[in-house]
Amino acid sequence: MFAADGSPRSGPPLPQDVAGPLCFAGDLVARARELPRIEAGDLVVLPDTGGYCASAPWGYNSVPRPAVHGFVRAGDGFRFTAVRAEQSLAEVVAEAGGARPDALLDLS
C-alpha cells in the first residue's frame, strides 16, 4: 500500500475492508484486513488479481476503462510505459449512446 505521493504507507495496523469501484458484492476484495490506515488518494496494489485487467469487459455502471501500463525491472527500480490511455468521460457517454440520444425515437 502506498500513500498518494508514492511512498510506502506505514502505521499501526487497523482492520479495514478493501473494495473496488463497482457496486456489487463481488468487488469486496478483503474484509477486516489489518493494514495501515488507508487515506483518500492512497494506492492499494492488488497484484495478480485479474479482475481489473485489460481483457476484462468494462462498461458496468459506466465505469471508465482504466489506463494500462507495462513495466520492466531496471537496475534498482522499474521503468513504466503507457500501453493504453484511460477512457475519457466523453468516450463513456459516446459508447453508451450519447452521440444519438434520440435514436430510439426513430423507431416510432
**pLDDT given for residue 25 in this prediction:** 75
Q: What backbone torsions phi and psi does residue 28 show, to the nearest 5 degrees?
A: -85, 115
**pLDDT given for residue 88 in this prediction:** 94
Domain edges within the chain: 1-47, 56-103
**pLDDT given for residue 6 in this prediction:** 79
**pLDDT given for residue 3 in this prediction:** 81
Instruction: Write out pLDDT tens, residues 38-93.
Output: 888 888 877 766 666 666 666 677 888 878 888 898 899 888 899 889 999 999 99
Q: Which residue has the cell 503507457?
A: 82
Spatial distance between the Cα atoms of 19 and 42, rounded to a whole number of angstroms: 13
Instruction: Write out pLDDT tens, residues 1-17.
Output: 788 787 888 899 999 99
Instruction: Tell me which amino acid residue 20 is.
Output: G
Q: Are 40 and 19 in contact (CB under 8 A)?
A: no
Instruction: Write out pLDDT tens, residues 24-37.
Output: 777 788 899 999 99
Indicate which residues carry an active-site annotation: 23
Neighbours of 9 (CB within 10 A): 16
